[in-house]
Chains A and B, each alone.
Chain A
Amino acid sequence: AQSVSQHNHHVILSEAASLELGCNYSYGGTVNLFWYVQYPGQHLQLLLKYFSGDPLVKGIKGFEAEFIKSKFSFNLRKPSVQWSDTAEYFCAVNARGATNKLIFGTGTLLAVQP
């Protein structure tokens, strides 16, 4: 069965600090990978996605993620966070060519201090 692990449950950073949130998945086949963000009081929004091609993908608001197939990882990065990045971040996968249901990680709550 597919599963997704996010190792950091709660991260606190100061503005301008660099961010890296870990995501590992477990699945024997080919996957599509996603990062979603949920700002306080708002719905899930797609930050970025990886389907195929260049394993370094760039998303909105300066975020990027790198797919490392050998490590089953899809870590999210941002070189310099802002207070407005305070939110919960979810990694998700689905199996390519099969069901499109998303399997989510437990989420990482990021608090950026001004």
Chain B
Amino acid sequence: EPEVTQTPSHQVTQMGQEVILRCVPISNHLYFYWYRQILGQKVEFLVSFYNNEISEKSEIFDDQFSVERPDGSNFTLKIRSTKLEDSAMYFCARIIRGEQFFGPGTRLTVL
């Protein structure tokens, strides 16, 4: 099965701090997605990223969020000033022949 790794597996931060979550594909892919899952709630789409540009974003993905591909391989999701309600699991996914394969997620805890 195609692999996507994410780092860190768990991040604890203080409210107002910036966090960067990383998604590392095994091979080079152009199309990536970020989702989040608040505890006890459903998985929600955040943003899709294609060929170094945002192709679609949800209403959740406000100005506090950004995505980048800083070194041509890793994909990052940055939250500039975290809020308590940003506490969630964040998943990245890559798409192959219409199927999305998810990474193990990063659990973000904002205190």
Chain A positions near chain B (C-beta within 8 angstroms)? 32, 34, 36, 42-46, 49, 51, 90, 92, 99-107
Is the pair B91, A101 in contact by a Cβ cutoff of 8 Å?
no
When distances are taken between beta carbons in the complex, the residues of chain B under 8 Å from A32 are 98
Is there an interface contact between A44 and B91, defined as CB atoms closer than 8 Å? yes
Contacts between the two chains (Cβ within 8 Å), count: 51
**Which stretch, B17-25, B42-50, B68-76, touches the partner chain A?**
B42-50
Q: Are A101 and B56 interface neighbours, CB within 8 A?
A: yes
13 contacts between A and B (CB under 8 A): A43-B102, A44-B102, A46-B100, A51-B98, A90-B43, A92-B43, A99-B48, A100-B31, A100-B33, A100-B95, A101-B45, A102-B33, A102-B43
The answer to whether the Cβ of B65 comes within 8 Å of any Cβ in the partner chain is: no
Query: Once the chains bind, are B98 and A46 in contact (CB under 8 Å)?
Result: no
